Chain A
Amino acid sequence: MEIPRELVNTIWYMCLYSLMATPLTLSYRTSRVLNFAHGIYITVGAYVPVLISRGLNISLSPVIAILASFSVGAILAMVSHLLVFSPLIRRRATPVTLMIASMGLWIFTKYALYAIISVLQKAWMTPLTYTNPNIDVPYSILFMGVDINARFILTILLAALVLTSLALFLTKTKTGMAIRAIADNPELAQLTGISREKTLLITWAISGGIAALGGFAWSIFAYVSPETGDNLILQVFACSVIGGLISLPITLIGAAIISSTENLLIVFLNRYFGVELSFRPFLSFLILLLTILIRPPAGAGGGLPYRYRFPRHIFRFLRRGEGNV
């Protein structure tokens, strides 16, 4: 039995965008920094297994690749916070200043990555500007007589595990609750003894790490280049904006909406209305624009953070997303 390719791609993209967009929402919600360097964490996460497997000329275990990507992404995000955002926040920089600083960080780290890749490419005599890692995961496995793409299954499992762990962390652990407290009301949280600086550092580590895992997942799906994160960042922002830049569950719904648009809606329009496939990115950005106009994200249209309201009895689980997760 063959699963329609469009459905496979929709689910695959949903997992990828979930891993990439959720940390953006988390970092903005907690630190109020609209981080344009977020794409770099994705790119770095994608390149870590590439550099390890190509450099050592080995077939890398997926567990090691995942741990390595997460670690490097987390470290990079923490360093970004310590060297760039934290000093500016202490000086009471405005959100616009922080956003501009993140753009500078983005450009700096991107070209630093280019320089590193260029040097390694020459030293190792192997192309690294458009490549993928050598991961010890087969392309397909036979399961009950059905040919299944093993990397597709790995991506689903990774996304489910990471997002479930994140939800449990934020709701069941002291540190997670501290993160939510800082996100909701930093002054009050500090009065209760929560260290804002330490909490922000942990938040950045988690955000950078999970974004890097999104990059790893991308590297086993398609090819990786130093532009990978940049080329995906607008779709990632679209998912987060649908989530109002504060709600993690709604960000997941945003991921589902964007991935469905790119893989199912365009198919429908192409097959029945003759719309060219070239219009695929236009549809994603149309949704982004409509979301900004109809349901502006946090802080935009009025000053107060936007709260999603859902009928209690229908979306009880989503009410936990009302600024709480």
Chain B
Amino acid sequence: MSAQLPRLLVFLVIGIVIGAAASYAYVNSTVGPTINELNSRIASLQEQVNLLNQTVEYKIGVTLPLTGQLQDVGQQWKTVVDIAFEDLNKEMQRYKIRAKFTPVILDDKTTDTQALTNIQTFHQAGIKVVIGPAASFQVKAVSRYVNDNKIVIVSPSSTAPTLAIPGDFIYRTVGSDAGQAKALAALVKSQGISKVIVFHRNDEYGVAFEEFFEKEFKALGGTSIGISYDTTLEDYASEVAQLSARAKREGVEGIVIITFDTDGVNILSHASKDPYLATLKWFSSEGIHGAMGLLEDPIASFIQKTNLLGTRPLFKENPLLHEFAARYKAIRGHDPPVFSANLYDAVILAGWAIIRAERYDGEAIRNALVEVAKTYYGVSGLTMFDENGDKLFQDYSVWTVKPVNGKYEYADVGSYSGGTITLD
């Protein structure tokens, strides 16, 4: 017995060690975490609570034409962007949502190449929602990139019907020109004009608008002749001279211009020097609306002489619009230019879409954007999108330039609804 005692003691120690290890494992698996684990979990939860209490900053890209052919209204749109972001952040505070939206504004020079560069820059910065670009040819230039990389773009002013494509990542808070061409054709016919020349930009916007206008005007019994001009030129004196000669040869009664602001101002400044063109009636799309050059002589006087009327996307009876316009005027000293309401709503929709999205990625934000727009009534009215991502309900107003207290101002003098033009 005494000889076996040491062996028994060794087996006893081994048994105790194995038993202790087994007991430890059993206790941990069934009873729960240790103090250290508990502390670590508490710390992680605290971090999450801290995150929930922190305000999350979301950046929204904004690509604006601060220079180039749309620079006149582009500079004014920057004020709209500032107002919209201010209001969006105030809404977040009002609803106690811990989110803050910051605009990242880049100038796209009203060119397609710079617009694409800006989108790429936003993408590299991790931004998933971009407001803009403004022009249809720019939207076309960025469309492949944004669709491939799932970046949601919300353009407030691209209106070419050729860009109405379902299932992409491009949304437009303005109706396509298919609707405005109808309104403009109705306006021209309502003024007793049956034969016009449509003098239009040779780009996505101008060509598409002219095609739709010709179709609608023909349906109303009118005839239109399209003349396009190069959009890259500094001056259009030669083109306007040709317009005058052709108008005389064809015996037209009116001229319809489809332009942007800078080229439009240039064209009207040369037209004002032509005695024959001053005898015709002039009409315009929304592209030139907001250009400051129209409020000064000789263009302003030319507009009075020719009774120039234009159409633009606007729901002019909207009280929210009046409120917004008053705020804008207090800052800039004049009424907001065309597409301001659409731009404002684009920013608000983008912000709420980010909040409503399950996660910060393009697809989730896109889905959320469509849902938010279904119930949002903004400065531009109902913002619901159609199947192509364009504004479903778009009203149009009739605008002109009028003398008011010794100065010239833009004025909305009528509206288009249900196929009929009503002038005030």
Interface of A with B (CB < 8 Å)? 2, 5-6, 9, 12-13, 114, 121, 125, 127, 129-132, 139-140, 147, 149, 221-223, 225-228, 231-232, 262-263, 266-267, 270-271, 276-281
For the complex, give the distance between the alpha carbons of A56 and B162 in Å.
47
Residue B229 at the chain A interface, CB threshold 8 Å? yes
Kindly list chain A residues whose C-beta atoms are within 8 Å of the C-beta of B229: 277-278
Contact B67 A129 (CB under 8 A): yes
Tell me which of B23-31, B97-105, B230-238, B306-314 binds A.
B230-238
Kindly list chain A residues whose C-beta atoms are within 8 Å of the C-beta of B237: 9, 12-13, 221-222, 263
Contact A121 B230 (CB under 8 A): no
Q: A228-B234, A277-B238, A281-B230 are in contact. Are A223 and B68 (CB under 8 A)?
A: no
Contact residue among B72, B228, B234, B242 (Cβ-Cβ distance under 8 Å from A127): B72
Kindly list chain B residues whose C-beta atoms are within 8 Å of the C-beta of A232: 234
For the complex, give the distance between the alpha carbons of A278 and B203 in Å.
11
Residue B266 at the chain A interface, CB threshold 8 Å? yes
Interface size on B, residues (CB 8 A): 39
Kindly list chain A residues whose C-beta atoms are within 8 Å of the C-beta of B235: 221-222
Residue B89 at the chain A interface, CB threshold 8 Å? no
Interface of B with A (CB < 8 Å)? 67-68, 71-72, 75, 202, 227-230, 232-235, 237-242, 244-245, 261-262, 265-266, 269-270, 272-275, 291-293, 297-298, 332-333
B227 (CB) vs chain A CBs: closest residue: A277
Kindly list chain B residues whose C-beta atoms are within 8 Å of the C-beta of A127: 72, 75, 292
For the complex, give the distance between the alpha carbons of A96 and B75 in Å.
38
Q: A2-B275, A277-B230, A278-B230 are in contact. Are A223 and B238 (CB under 8 A)?
A: no
Contact A131 B230 (CB under 8 A): no
Contact A270 B242 (CB under 8 A): yes
Contact residue among B230, B265, B269 (Cβ-Cβ distance under 8 Å from A280): B230
Kindly list chain B residues whose C-beta atoms are within 8 Å of the C-beta of A226: 67
Give 26 CB contacts A-B under 8 Å.
Answer: A2-B275, A6-B245, A12-B237, A13-B237, A125-B333, A129-B72, A129-B75, A130-B72, A130-B265, A130-B292, A131-B293, A139-B272, A221-B235, A221-B237, A222-B234, A222-B266, A225-B262, A226-B67, A227-B67, A231-B234, A267-B242, A267-B245, A270-B242, A276-B228, A277-B238, A280-B239
For the complex, give the distance between the alpha carbons of A131 and B72 in Å.
9
Kindly list chain B residues whose C-beta atoms are within 8 Å of the C-beta of A132: 293
Kindly list chain B residues whose C-beta atoms are within 8 Å of the C-beta of A266: 238, 242
Kindly list chain A residues whose C-beta atoms are within 8 Å of the C-beta of B292: 127, 130-131
Q: A129-B71, A130-B261, A281-B232 are in contact. Are A9 and B238 (CB under 8 A)?
A: yes
B272 (CB) vs chain A CBs: closest residue: A139
Q: A147-B275, A223-B266, A232-B234 are in contact. Are A125 and B71 (CB under 8 A)?
A: no
Contact B265 A223 (CB under 8 A): yes
A-B pairs with lowest CB-CB distance, top 7: A231-B234, A5-B241, A278-B230, A127-B292, A129-B71, A9-B237, A222-B235
Of A129, A263, A279, the most chain B CB neighbours within 10 A belong to A129
For the complex, give the distance between the alpha carbons of A2 and B228 in Å.
26
Kindly list chain A residues whose C-beta atoms are within 8 Å of the C-beta of B228: 276-278
A266 (CB) vs chain B CBs: closest residue: B238
Kindly list chain A residues whose C-beta atoms are within 8 Å of the C-beta of B240: 5
Contact A280 B72 (CB under 8 A): no
B76 (CB) vs chain A CBs: closest residue: A127
For the A-B complex with A225-B262, A280-B238 known, give 15 more contacts whose Cβ atoms are closer than 8 Å: A121-B75, A127-B75, A127-B292, A129-B67, A131-B293, A139-B297, A140-B273, A222-B234, A232-B234, A276-B228, A277-B227, A277-B228, A277-B229, A280-B230, A280-B233
Contact B71 A263 (CB under 8 A): no
Shortest CB distance A42–B (Å): 11
Shortest CB distance A149–B (Å): 6
Kindly list chain A residues whose C-beta atoms are within 8 Å of the C-beta of B239: 277, 280
Of A149, A223, A281, the most chain B CB neighbours within 10 A belong to A223
Shortest CB distance A39–B (Å): 11
Kindly list chain B residues whose C-beta atoms are within 8 Å of the C-beta of A271: 245
Kindly list chain A residues whose C-beta atoms are within 8 Å of the C-beta of B245: 5-6, 267, 271
Kindly list chain B residues whose C-beta atoms are within 8 Å of the C-beta of A139: 272-273, 297-298
Kindly list chain B residues whose C-beta atoms are within 8 Å of the C-beta of A280: 230, 233, 238-239
